[in-house]
């Protein structure tokens, strides 16, 4: 039962991470805010999105069996 809950939590975190990546990409592409007629949309700011992204990256690492300490490995030599 715990494994099922863990895998569901991992799936939700990965799905949210994908949405956040899409939002970041849209903002970097110039879609921070726009208006159509009387309606307007403003996306979250990048700092908030990056903070949430880092938290989700750590959660996904932890749920996937990592300890969340390392983000990247750079080969030496």
What Cα–Cα distance (Å) separates residue 4 from each residue in 12, 27, 52, 63?
12, 35, 24, 12
Residue 60 included in any domain = yes
Question: What pLDDT is stored for residue 32 in this prediction?
Answer: 76
The contacts of residue 62 (CB under 8 Å, 6+ apart) are 68
pLDDT at position 15 is 95
Domain enclosing residue 18, as ranges? 14-24+43-66
Report the C-alpha dihedral over residues 42, 58, 22, 8, rounded to 10 degrees: -110
Domain presence at residue 38: no
Q: What pLDDT shows up at residue 71?
A: 59
Q: What is the CA radius of gyration of the chain?
A: 17
| pLDDT by 10-residue block (mean), the chain, 77 residues | 86 94 86 81 83 93 73 65
- Determine the 3-state secondary structure of 35 from DSSP: strand
* pLDDT the model gives residue 77: 61
Residue 36 located in a structural domain = no
The answer to the question of residue 52 being in a domain is yes
Number of domains in the chain: 1
Residue 58 lies in a domain: yes
Residue 75 located in a structural domain: no
Candidates 51, 69, 53; CA nearest to 61 is: 69
User: What's the pTM?
Assistant: 0.67
């Amino acid at each position: 039962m715990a494994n099922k809950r863990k895998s569901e939590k991992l799936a939700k975190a990965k799905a949210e991470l994908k949405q956040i990546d899409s939002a970041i990409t849209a903002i970097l592409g110039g879609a921070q805010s726009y208006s159509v007629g009387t309606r307007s949309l403003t996306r979250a700011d990048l700092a908030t999105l990056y903070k949430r992204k880092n938290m989700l990256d750590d959660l996904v690492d932890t749920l996937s069996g990592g300890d969340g300490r390392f983000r990247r490995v750079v080969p030496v030599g």
